[in-house]
């Protein structure tokens, strides 16, 4: 290959120093694009095309929208993951609260609502579970395992908590003895009816027929081993017959599946108070109340525990909260007051 002549080399060097726009002035040093000062100034003043401005505006709007919604989306994801972990740890009330917050951001998410439904059910919030199921009914579950879980729970809810019309009519009977008689007749004709057996045992408990309650609940357990309210009714029957160790075992079995069951802590405190373990009874009554403070039975039980631990001001404050409640009758309040006045003996 031949060498470049000196004239060609000189011409090349001159070209490199000329403005690429006007070709007549020396370029302004320090820039990649070879332009003179005047051409560079004119270029910087040239208007931006409308289509570029439009794209820029769209990008900015999308970015602002994403930035505005990113925190709530991230927060919902955090609540969802916390709910999944809480549910795995049998903290069903916590799980429900986390899924509730996640569903506020994604109210139509079947994935979140399905888990909220399960958390409600396993924390004994049956009405709320039923409402959530109405929102996901007919929707496609995320996988077969979740679909099976939901279908299993729906079957259990129907079997355990919803009475057919004939049974509802019987339960409307206010007099205890006639109701028990009708329930026994109903069970004779419907021996496999779970809710009928439970309501019969519950009525027998009110009639202080604790041995019959125990018999019915033990038989029911064979087909319904994880029916928590039935287990706690059995525990109450054991308590009233002074089988305190058996009663405590039943309550602990419920807590093993739902560590945040206010019903279980209520039951545990009653067992302890019956045995004059008043400080422990107060502690567990307080746990039940903290888990579900808007429950008349929990308020009354905490008042009872404060009575036995001589916290009388707190007892009276709680009694005042029981006035005119839909979930705690005047008859129940009068009976509780009679215990405080020593006209009724609640324990030995």
Kindly report, residue by residue over 190-239, the tens digit of the pLDDT: 999 999 999 999 999 999 999 999 999 999 999 999 999 999 999 999 99
Give the pLDDT confidence score for residue 72 in this predicted structure: 63
* pLDDT per residue as tens digits for the range 12-45: 444 455 666 666 556 666 656 666 766 656 554 4
260 has a pLDDT exceeding 90: yes
Kindly report the backbone phi and psi dihedral angles of residue 320, in degrees, each rounded to the nearest multiple of 5, phi listed first: -60, -30
* pLDDT per residue as tens digits for the range 59-75: 555 554 555 555 567 78
Q: How far is residue 59's CA from residue 53's CA, in Å, rounded to a whole number?
A: 10
58 has a pLDDT exceeding 90: no
Hey, what CATH class is 74-161 in?
mainly alpha
pLDDT level of residue 48 (50, 70, 90 thresholds): very low
93 has a pLDDT exceeding 60: yes
All CATH 1.25.40.10 domain ranges of the chain, comma separated, are 74-161
> Could you give the C-alpha distances from 82 to 97, 99, 107, 141, 142, in angstroms and in order?
10, 8, 17, 20, 19
The answer to whether the beta carbons of residues 144 and 174 sit under 8 Å apart is: no
Mean pLDDT value across residues 279-296: 98
* pLDDT per residue as tens digits for the range 109-164: 999 999 999 999 999 999 999 999 999 988 888 889 999 999 999 999 999 998 89
Which has more confidence, 183 or 15? 183
Share of the chain above pLDDT 70, in %: 79
pTM here?
0.79
Shortest CA distance to 288 belongs to which of 254, 339, 334, 245? 254
Mean pLDDT value across residues 89-113: 95
> Could you give the C-alpha distances from 161 to 93, 203, 207, 229, 298, in angstroms and in order?
20, 16, 22, 10, 21
Going 105 to 110 to 115 to 120, the CA torsion angle's sign is positive
Place of tokens 């008043």: 278
CATH number of 260-348: 1.25.40
User: Which residues, other chains included, contact 219 with Cβ-Cβ below 8 Å and sequence gap of 6+?
Assistant: 197
Give the pLDDT confidence score for residue 55 in this predicted structure: 52
User: Which residues, other chains included, contact 40 with Cβ-Cβ below 8 Å and sequence gap of 6+?
Assistant: 28, 31, 33
Q: Counting beta carbons within 10 angstroms of the beta carbon of residue 120, is it exposed (0 to 12), middle (13 to 18) or buried (19 or more)?
A: buried
Give the pLDDT confidence score for residue 140 in this predicted structure: 86
């Amino acid at each position: 290959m031949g060498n470049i002549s000196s004239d060609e080399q000189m011409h090349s060097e001159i070209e490199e120093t000329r403005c690429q726009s006007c070709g007549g002035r020396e370029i302004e040093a320090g820039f990649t694009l070879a332009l003179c000062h005047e051409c560079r100034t004119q270029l910087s003043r040239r208007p931006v095309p409308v289509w570029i401005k439009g794209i820029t505006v769209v990008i900015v709007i999308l970015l602002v929208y994403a930035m505005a919604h990113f925190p709530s989306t991230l927060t919902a994801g955090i609540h969802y993951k916390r709910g999944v972990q809480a549910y795995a740890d049998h903290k069903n009330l916590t799980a429900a609260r986390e899924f509730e917050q996640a569903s506020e951001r994604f109210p139509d998410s079947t994935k979140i609502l399905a888990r909220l439904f399960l958390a409600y059910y396993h924390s004994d919030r049956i009405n709320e579970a039923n409402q959530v199921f109405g929102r996901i009914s007919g929707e496609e579950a995320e996988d077969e395992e979740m679909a099976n879980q939901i279908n299993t729970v729906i079957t259990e809810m129907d079997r355990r908590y919803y009475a057919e019309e004939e049974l509802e009519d019987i339960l409307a009977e206010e007099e205890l003895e006639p109701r028990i008689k009708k329930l026994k007749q109903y069970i004779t004709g419907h021996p496999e009816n779970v809710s009928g057996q439970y309501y019969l045992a519950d009525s027998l408990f009110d009639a202080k027929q604790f041995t019959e309650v125990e018999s019915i609940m033990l038989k029911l357990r064979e087909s319904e081993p994880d029916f928590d309210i039935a287990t706690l009714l059995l525990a109450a029957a054991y308590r009233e017959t002074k089988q305190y160790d058996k009663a405590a075992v039943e309550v602990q079995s419920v807590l093993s599946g739902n560590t945040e069951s206010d019903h279980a802590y209520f039951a545990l405190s009653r067992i302890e108070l019956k045995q004059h373990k008043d400080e422990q009874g107060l502690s567990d009554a307080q746990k039940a109340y903290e888990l579900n403070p808007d429950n008349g039975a929990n308020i009354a039980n905490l008042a009872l525990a404060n009575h036995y631990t001589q916290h009388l001001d707190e007892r009276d404050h709680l009694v005042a909260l029981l006035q005119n409640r839909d979930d705690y009758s005047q008859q129940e309040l009068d009976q509780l007051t009679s215990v405080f006045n020593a006209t009724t003996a609640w324990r030995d």
